[in-house]
Amino acid sequence: MSEGTVISTSEGQDISLDLIDLPMDIEGFKYFLTSWLVRDHERDVNILIDTGPSSTVELLFQYLEALDIEKIDLILLTHIHMDHAGGCGHVSRRFPDANIIVSERGIKHLADPSRLWESSLETIGETALKYGPMIPVDRSRINCMESLTGLPIVIMPTPGHASHHNSYGYGKILFAGEAAGAHVPFNNVVPMDSVWTSTPDICFPYIRPATPPPFQFDTAWSSVEKLFATEGFEILCYAHYGFSFKLKEMLSSFREQLLLWKFMFSENFSDDTDNSEDRFISDCFDQILERDPFLANFRCLSESVQNRERFFISNSIRGFSGAFKSFRLHGGK
């Protein structure tokens, strides 16, 4: 496994924020998976936001040891997809006093991950094996809301990427999971030569929708609107990847991107029923790269990262396509 990186920033003198990179043994999957650590020194509380997959938990434990973390008080899961929550059972066993917060719809899958594991094997196959299997979490430790007493935590249901998706606020930090899309940072969060093959155009950030099927535009739009309307946050933390102090600008950019994709599908893609799905996805992909300014830096990415992003962009295209086919089938225009 590749060596990971811990990047630290700070949010005031009493709270520190650490991004823990969890690289996987898949080409292009370094600087992609994240676990966030919040250390509230005033309250003596340590919080993990997402654990990453089970295949990277030993790396996560190494980093926590390097940071002299002897306890975890809370684990906040943005959603239960295996790359975000697959290691939760392992982490909860390592830290038996940690309580877990997750969407109500995710509780049963944490307590018994067998169906989630089987579904993941069917849908993503080899990648699921790379993520590693999940182990159960003690049901009594899930959503013990009294453990939040006195903490500046805000829980925001933000479905769109997944029906069971939550975003979280802690003080001035907003953990958006994938409700604000996925992001490749331009700043020094990652070594540039590990991601970029040429210098990116800094006029536009690299953002892409995280809209796999089944996807509903209105649900995703309402979620990002909720994030945008909430005041008091200053740092936007992505599940994939990095962070930005330009919180409102990044959320506004993502709203623009969603509207652009909606326009392109409603005007150009939804009537194309003659081509095969692969051809349809390929045609959409090419047009999106030409027209979406927030993907303009795609060709600056290294080959392995381009391959990763092509897969996820294509899956987001499937989500949008399915949403608009369903809309038209039920009488939309």
pTM of the model: 0.92
Is the CA virtual torsion 275, 310, 181, 39 positive or negative?
A: positive
**What range does the domain containing 231 cover?**
6-255
> Does residue 272 register a pLDDT over 70?
no
Q: Mean per-residue pLDDT for 275-300?
A: 91
Q: Is residue 287 part of a domain?
A: no
Look up tokens 């995280």; give the residue: 210
DSSP 8-state assignment for residue 301: B
Residue 247: predicted pLDDT: 96
Q: Is residue 163 part of a domain?
A: yes
Q: Is residue 151 part of a domain?
A: yes
| Average per-residue pLDDT for the chain | 89
Q: What is the CATH number of the domain that holds 177?
A: 3.60.15.10
Q: Is residue 325 part of a domain?
A: no
Distance between CA 287 and CA 282 in Å, rounded?
9
- 10 band by pLDDT with thresholds 50, 70 and 90: low
Distances (CA, A) of 223 to 68, 164, 298: 36, 12, 26
- 1 band by pLDDT with thresholds 50, 70 and 90: very low
Q: Is residue 312 part of a domain?
A: no
Q: Is residue 264 part of a domain?
A: no
Residue-wise pLDDT tens digits, 61-107: 999 999 999 999 999 999 999 999 999 999 999 999 999 999 999 99
Please state the domain count of the chain: 1
Write out the H or E segment, with its range, that includes residue 45.
strand 45-49
- 330 band by pLDDT with thresholds 50, 70 and 90: very low
